[in-house]
Structure 1
Amino acid sequence: MKKYLLALFLVFSLFSLTACGNDERPEDDEGIEDVEEEDEIGDGEINDE
């Protein structure tokens, strides 16, 4: 009986994770923006120290 309850809980958890995503497509003027990192000087080169 515990196995059935555990399986039911896992199925419900996976369903809630996959079903509650944001599936709406962005509108035309709401495109995804590219984010670029810049260093402190602002020249666009990233210093990996």
Structure 2
Amino acid sequence: SLGYQNDGGKSPSHLEMVTVQAAAGTMAGACSSVLTTPLDTIKTRLQ
């Protein structure tokens, strides 16, 4: 998974997989915060 092909190369280690998943989660959380915080602020000011 994660785009690795079985072409005879080494498969990623457990630590590499955890690192990639943690980085992806961090980026997803940051994007979510960047998008929702301004909208929530606008909603609160309109109330």
Tell me which interval the TM-score lies in, with the shorter structure as reference length.
0.3 to 0.5
Higher Rg of the two aligned structures: 1
| Structure with more helix by fraction | 2
Report the TM-score, using the length of structure 2 for normalisation: 0.45
Report the TM-score, using the length of structure 1 for normalisation: 0.44
